[in-house]
A and B are shown apart, each in its own frame.
Chain A
Amino acid sequence: MIHKIWITLFLVGIAYSIVTGTVINVNQAVVAGARDAISLIITLAGVLTFWTGVLQVANKAGVLRGMEKALRPLIRLIYPKLGPGHPAIKYLTTNMVSNLFGLGNVATPTGIKAMKELQATSPDPSKPTFEMYTLLVMNTAGFTLIPTTIIGIRAGYQAANPADVLMPILFASGASVILGLAFHQIYSSLKGVTSSGKGPKLGRRQAIWRK
């Protein structure tokens, strides 16, 4: 489906600009788009490199395990099929926390790490698993505690109270996560999407620690 969307973007865009005689804009858009993509990837590469490095430090220092422990009930609710020893859980946790605090720079590397771990235990690595879709819905809903961008814009245009949209935003994004997950639950079960599985069994020492 993404293939069709991609082709449609070009087909519609080019055809429409030829019809309306704005074809010069297409020429500019090709150059500008390619340049934007490269400058985005330069930023993204820096951010990804730094944060995957820091995440590894956090992982080895036990910080991720601490967060994982604190948010276990929530993660278990959202990802019920993953075993407690699944290596993706600590990244799913950090991804959720960074989204809550609006840290997009941390959310992307943690989300990618989680995807990789979810793929590693998948029965068929060429297909997305149930948990990968769940992670996607969790991220596309953009649930965040402090939507800083929009509050900043509203403040810039002299809103009486720039943050008065906070409650409606929390309501709309929170409820859309729940509805999105519910839809995913039904739809993916109907389509027979497989789970990433329980993951490796816990060793005895870990099992004791996790109690």
Chain B
Amino acid sequence: MAQIGLYAVPVFLLSIFVMAFIKNTNAFDDFVEGAKEGLGTAASLLPNLVGMIVGVKVFLASGILDSISAMLDPLLSRINLHPQLLPLMILRPLSGSATVGYASELINIHGPDSLVGRLASVMQASSDTTIYIITVYFAAVGLKEMKHALKLGLITDLFAFGLAIVAVSLFF
């Protein structure tokens, strides 16, 4: 299975270049033309990313997440949800690298085959960094008005977390 991931990019690239060779297109000119657009997009994203990432870092550095999960401990354990999973759910839409770090720490502490370890695995993998995706996708087309984007993205994340709990109890 992991082999598919390994070969996906090279095979995709190979098929593109084989086709370009067969069709005898001006591949390098096409490449340069397309690449210019990508560079421009990346440059225009810089201010958005600096603003958002510094905000997330400051929020996380204050240590408030630990306090929140400690506070909600009695409430969460009543519904059989380990309190240490709450920071994971808050981190998930904010920061991809922080989530991976936190999830692997949970897996390390509780063990990969524990309930918490499995829940952390499924929650991490079945959703994505919503805030980052919104920032990048909407800023790239110069949209200032994001309107419902955040609501839709975060609700989809909530669905994913709920379904992760269902899935783990269903499959294990």
- Chain A residues engaging chain B, CB cutoff 8 angstroms: 1-2, 5-6, 9-10, 12-14, 16-17, 20, 22, 25-26, 28-30, 32-34, 36-38, 40-41, 44-45, 48-63, 101-103, 105-106, 108-109, 111-112, 115-116, 119, 126-128, 132-133, 135-137, 139-142, 144-151, 153-154, 156-160, 162-163, 165-169, 171-173, 175-177, 179-180, 183-184, 187-188, 191, 193
Contact = CB atoms under 8 A, between A and B. Distances in A.
Nearest to B140: A112
Contact of A33 (B56, B112, B134, B170): B56
24 contacts: A13-B55, A13-B60, A14-B58, A17-B61, A34-B50, A40-B53, A50-B35, A53-B30, A53-B35, A56-B34, A58-B20, A60-B20, A103-B12, A115-B140, A136-B137, A140-B133, A142-B128, A146-B1, A149-B100, A157-B108, A169-B121, A171-B170, A172-B123, A172-B167
A187 B153 CA distance: 12
Given A142-B128, A168-B168, 10 more contacts: A16-B67, A29-B61, A44-B49, A55-B34, A103-B8, A128-B149, A133-B152, A168-B167, A168-B170, A176-B159
Most buried by A among B62, B140, B167: B62
Contacts of A29: 54, 57-58, 60-61
Contacts of B57: 29-30, 32-33, 36
Contact of B118 (A13, A44, A168): A168
B34 A2 contact: no
B75 interface: no
A112 B13 contact: no
A126 B127 CA distance: 28
Interface residues of B, number: 102
Given A63-B19, A128-B138, A150-B125, A106 B12 contact: yes
Given A45-B43, A57-B20, A128-B143, A176 B35 contact: no
Given A63-B15, A157-B108, A173-B160, A6 B52 contact: yes
B58 A26 contact: yes
A158 B117 CA distance: 12
Contacts of A140: 93, 127-128, 130, 133-134, 152-153, 156-157
A13 B159 CA distance: 27
B145 A128 contact: yes
A2 B122 contact: no
A58 B132 CA distance: 27
Main SS class of interface, A: helix
Contacts of B63: 16-17, 20, 22, 25
Given A10-B58, A101-B8, A157 B111 contact: yes
B138 A165 contact: no
